[in-house]
A and B are shown apart, each in its own frame.
Chain A
Amino acid sequence: MSGVNDFAFKMATVNGTGSASANSLLMQAIFRMGIPVAGKNIFPSNIQGLPTWYEVRVSAAGYMARPAEVDLIVALNTNTLAKDIKTVRAGGYVMYDSSWPIPEELKRDDVTFLGVPFGDLAASAFERDRDRTLLRNIIYTGALGALLSIDHDIISEMLKEKFAKKKSLLEANAKAIQMGWDYATAHFPCPLPFHLAPMDETKDKVIIDGNTACGLGAVFAGATVGAWYPITPSTSLMEAFKAFCEKYRVEPGTGLHKYCILQAEDELAAAGIAIGAGWAGARSFTNTSGPGISLMQEFLGLAYYTEIPAVFFDVQRTGPATGMPTRTQQADLMMLAYASHGDTKHLIVFPANPHECFELTVKAFDLAERFQTPVFVASDLDIGMNDWMVPRFQWDDGYVADRGKVLTDAELKALPKFSRYLDADGDGIAARTLPGGDPKGAYFVRGSGHDRHAAYTEDSDAYKDVVDRIKRKIDNAAAHVPAPVIIKTPGAEIGLVTIGGCDAAVREAMDILKAQGFHVDFMRIRGFPFAEGVHEFLNEHEVNFVIEQNRDAQLRSLLAIETGMPRDAMIAVLDYAGMPLTAQVVVNAVTAHFAGVEA
């Protein structure tokens, strides 16, 4: 790393001081220069006063994973200064606020210190305390602009867009940018050895986060009922759904809503609302995180057994218990796969990035109604809350929603008798009816034992008839959930198996490994129950590495349970301390394994 359009830098600030908008300004400016860029917001579970970091990776090659190291840090948080200075690679740069001297013991010989008197500059130019705090961030944006050769016109243009209606703010921000820019130009050799040069690699791309993409997907899928209980990191998903509904779903003339969002008293109620709405015929969903899914277990079993569609978004965070609410993890896999007491198995889709969040959300609604069962969209904090550069979302106006087997009144009348849980077509899916329709279709939903006619039963055969059919139904769904993404190299004997947001880091690792002479194949799981190709891939490789973000190798366990592949025949590569995966972790694990094998 470290060259033109190939470097990383990060900002260390205090949350609640307005650094977030400065940081997204930087990222977007680079994007508009046509250069691939990724941003990761490492933030605290707090509103004001705790440390926060924002990492920006610039990659001409298009690598979007978190970088293993940074070339430059803007260290503005005195509480984390000591640690922050240590995180810069040898030969890198530390930009700090020289309004106060930096303690001698924190200085390093192998990095260059760039002192900018941010505090003094802000105090000299702005009157109000709040302005001084907020605009200090814009000053470092200007300084970075000069050091990294950001296109000044693009920044000016973005400020104009942002403050189109607030002229005084526009002037203050433009002034702050210029102050930083001028200071850096006058005091440092600009640009630095690593810097930006315009490219043309982003014109088919957008910058968006996964929660926004899921909310948008739910609108496009025709979801009308959304229920939730606020929880980090899934809250912004419902906020996005609401904002898009306000934009697209308000009836002209009356101003009335073609959607209903209910903020429930807890996640149990949110699940109940989603299931009630799914039963009544609406496309419905709830969004939550691991703790919410824990609370929803009983309802998930009910929906599974009574065969009611609804979509459940799990934006995973670090567990167990409250865990680290603002850190990422993929540790809910086992819980989602077999949620609730009794024999259950659930459909899950695993998006890798916001682009897939949009697509797979629509898919999840189709799957839920086709298979009449809860469907999980397993996202995570990294995908959900970070800004990703992804291809523009596409929509085909020929899309026909798969509403599944729902009998119309006319179809009901033609039937000799309606039996809710009768497998008439042999595919494990029994036709359902909706309340309000012809009385012939009326039946009684019950979580207690029921027979194929939906009548209460304690009869062994009648009970088995229903649960065995549900098993067939869920097994059949394996052919309909999103297929794995498989990339093959001729002659490869090593398989890299991964899931979700690990995609970017594992693909990057694959390139690095190939350059080192390893022949590797790649498979990213996108759906559960596993499609047929999953087992095949595992069988094809001498060695399979299963790379995931949890402590207990949950994906590996699922693969072992579901495919019969011996668990210990697969090598677990685990990264679960809350940060997005880096390619280095994967490369190190693979090379260490073979070094060990050879020794």
Chain B
Amino acid sequence: MSPEPSRRILITGLSSWWGGRLAQALEREPGVEAIVGIDTEDPRHELERTEFVRVDIKETFLRRIIVAAAIDTVLDTRLISDPLLASLDHVHRVNVEGTRNLLAACSGADSQVRKLVFKSSARYYGSSSDDPAFFSETLARTEPPQTRIERDIVAAEEAASEFAAARRGTTLTVVRCADVLGDDQRSSPLALLGLPVIPSLLGFDPRLQFIHEDDAIGALAHVTRHDLPGRYNAAADGVLALSEVASLLGKPVLPVLPPWGLGFAAGQLRRLGVRVPVELVRELRYGRGLDNRLLKASGFRYRYTTREAVIKLRARQRLRPLLRSGSESYRYEREVEEFLRWSPSVRTVRETARPAPDGDGDGGVDELGVTELIEIISSLEAPDLARLREYEAAHGAREAVLEALDRNLARRQSDNSDE
């Protein structure tokens, strides 16, 4: 057990959604001295003090970074669990070879790494007819891995376990995450649920479990913050049937897929160049449920249940056509970022001085999105509005929110003067 908290953190896969969001969450923690992020592409998330190194996952580079920055904690978020995101060869390179390289770099004699957080996937368990209704962390999968991605995930986890077993004093935390429902996520279940009519397998109504994006990042931040060796499932409370998910989304389910021969058809289509994720076909048959209680017992609180995450998804699916044009996009420019971080002319106070909202606890106003806040504002009374206006001006000062507040305040005042 290493009771010392993590101070110097290396995040792999910084440019992915996982790495970027996790870095944003950890930047607010005053206890964290340094965050170094690596990836092969430029970051897509706006970061304040995380340092980005554009580097391939090669042992020699990694070893130098880990030693030079005196990294004590490695957060490995690279694992690709969704076949829709990359070609299978690329997935194999990232999941298996990349993990091996990273672990080799961490296990050097002069490395000070004492904690490894490995982001894994619920796909580790597979999906078959012999499965228990709720996989707990101690249960192994019921049949050997059936697809390449599953094989790669299992191999990567094994490599991480071997690393932790060989290196005494190293804490290994594996987080097996259910499919994430979130905003700028791309995944096969999201693609499926985004269709106007949700196709299903004739005669099957699989049980599905998701996790809201905030909870997924919160879970990783939680295991980084605390000393939690072992394996943890991260999935929201509640397992829904596909039909239930569809009715929450307000979409019809159409059992158009034949129950037999679909795996074969998917294989043939892949030969022709059309990628149908075999994993998804299997999950449409048997689904999967996870036992999420161990992570809860460790002190983590989920903010959303699976049902609530699906309801949020519905709101987003309906709002997307309206919001697309207005969404601001962040572009990484190395010179600008370096100027902001290191130039003596920059005068802004470091954000870390501000007490961070507790990622585990209840979300304050700061954590609400602009759209959510505006929804709430219209239902508030005048004194509350004034107080919120004051708070927002002092803290977030988001323009859209302030504008909405002013508009509502003005309307309330004119209402009062009419009386």
Chains A and B form a bound pair: no
Which residues of A approach B to under 8 Å, CB–CB? none
Which residues of B approach A to under 8 Å, CB–CB? none
